[in-house]
Structure 1
Amino acid sequence: MKSPTFYTHAAQDPDGLARELAAFVADHLKEALRERGQALLVVSGGSTPIPFFEALSAWPLDWSAVHVTLADERCVPELNEHSNARLVRQHLLRGQARSAQLHPLLHEALGEHPDQHTRQARAEAMLSTLPWPADVVVLGMGSDGHTASLFPHAPELAEALDPEGHRRCLAVSAPALPNVPVPRLTLTARALLDSRVIVVHTTGAGKRELLEQACQPGDTHPWPIRMVLLQDEVPCHLFHVD
């Protein structure tokens, strides 16, 4: 394997970084729309991407031809404050982007308490209808080195990271605090790396130090973000500001 190459992007403040990231993603979506007539964007939840979502929502694209799905989702109703689908609807599907097609991982018609196998199967079926490879996958990184809902040493992590795995989505158990302790659905390495471009979006000096550690060669299981950082198949862009 060749040495991984990172393309780094910086800004003076988080809002400036969010605007730069929005322009970067919009350019890739425009290229996809021009060349293929549709685009697929995979995004993450949390507080860090909110300014990015709001900046991206102002870009004048043919949003009706843009499919948006999630890198992971907490198994809560969409009206719950911890729902990533709710976050995306509130901060991205607005303004110019109000006509984008959001494909949540959780199927609300299943009710609040379906078994994890049913949730996973329904999400897998939905994902199979999307126009892969994704044009852009935007990920974050937790303070424990997780990305999406791929947590260090989780029981499901080996299956999720399996390069020969056939699943795009996996049901995973609730992580430990300080993460929101509810079961999740997460895209696997197969899906997250099935992209033309991957972005890792982080803010804060603490995250910069963690990124520097994660970029060092080593085992992926203690640092699931290494799945993205230590590969050479998909261009990886690091957007960071202290």
Structure 2
Amino acid sequence: MSGTFHGFADPQELAEKTAARIASILGDALAARPTASLVVPGGRTPGPFLSRLALAGLDWERLHVCLSDERWVPPTAPESNEALLRRTLLTGDAERAHFVQLYTGGSTPKVGLEEAERRVAALPRPINVVVVGMGEDGHFASLFPGEEALAQGLREDGTASCVPAIGPGGGPPRLSLTLSRLLDARHLFLLATGEAKRALWDKAADGGPAEELPIRALRRQTKVPVEVLWCP
């Protein structure tokens, strides 16, 4: 399933239009139901849109927010995705949102896995909005090529919400939401910048194995249309 491709002129327009679109979806969801849920990525690209989304006039107390993945470090560490989220989205009125922490304080992601599963299971579902990024190696969330738990993480019909990941060499280990959990969504967005990422999304339409290029699993699934939000 190719979904829809939306191109924007520059990172500023990408951030503004993405924040406006997602705020509208969440506003409609909160008008119809008591709660709504949002899953967002870490990394550099989403920061500007998250800062703009924080300014949306939403009833944040009824909104549940979770990361798509987390580095296994305390939230005070500079490389923590939670730290990024608290600098960008969870500020001002948006600080009142219910934040679902993936990092549990356990010694490793495997040690914290059971508690993280319990926390993610409490998210209002289906998730109203899921936003993921994409790496130049074809990973999304922390579903990297070569990971021990990648096959489980990429199962569309899997029952697990989270899998552990080693991540890039030299970095901290990680915990990632699984593809099956990310697809339990009403709206699914892929946020990407640069010509290399656009070419990678196009390549994901081929018939190659998802184990080598995990983004193929996201593109070829037929459960939720993927909207690609991209700028040069």
TM-score (ref. length: structure 1): 0.91
Q: Tell whether 2:119 aligns with 1:122.
A: no
Aligned to 1:163: 156
Does residue 199 (structure 1) correspond to residue 189 (structure 2)? The answer is yes
198-207 vs 4-13, which moves further = 4-13
How many residues end up aligned between the 2 structures? 232
* 2:179 maps to which of 189, 192, 202: 189
Q: For 1:53 and 1:115, locate their aligned partners in 2 and report how far apart those are by CA, in whole Å.
A: 28
% identical aligned pairs: 39
Deviation per residue, 1:82-117 (Å, 9 max, x gap): 100111111001134221111110124x4xxx2433
Which shows bigger deviation, 72-81 or 161-170? 161-170
Give the secondary structure class of the aligned counterpart of 2:8. Answer: coil
Partner of 1:53: 50
CA deviations on 1:56-96 (whole Å, 9 max, x unpaired) are 11110101111000110000111111100111111001134
What letter corresponds to residue 224 of structure 1 in structure 2? P
Gaps of 5+ in 1: none
Q: Tell me if the contact between 1:147 and 1:224 (Cα under 8 Å) persists in the aligned partners.
A: yes
Whether 2:10 is the aligned partner of 1:20: answer no
User: Equivalences for 1:200-239 in 2 at 5 Å?
Assistant: 200-239=190-229
Aligned runs of 1:33-112 on 2, under 5 Å? 33-108=30-105, 110=106
- Two-structure CA RMSD over aligned residues (Å): 1.4
Provide the C-alpha distance between the structure 2 equivalents of 1:49 and 1:166, rounded to a whole number of angstroms. Answer: 28
Contact 2:144 2:167 in 1 (8 A): no
User: 1:168–1:187: 8 Å Cα contact kept in structure 2?
Assistant: yes
Shift of 1:171: 1.5
Distance 1:176 1:225 in 2: 20
Shift of 1:11: 1.5
TM-score after normalising by structure 2: 0.95
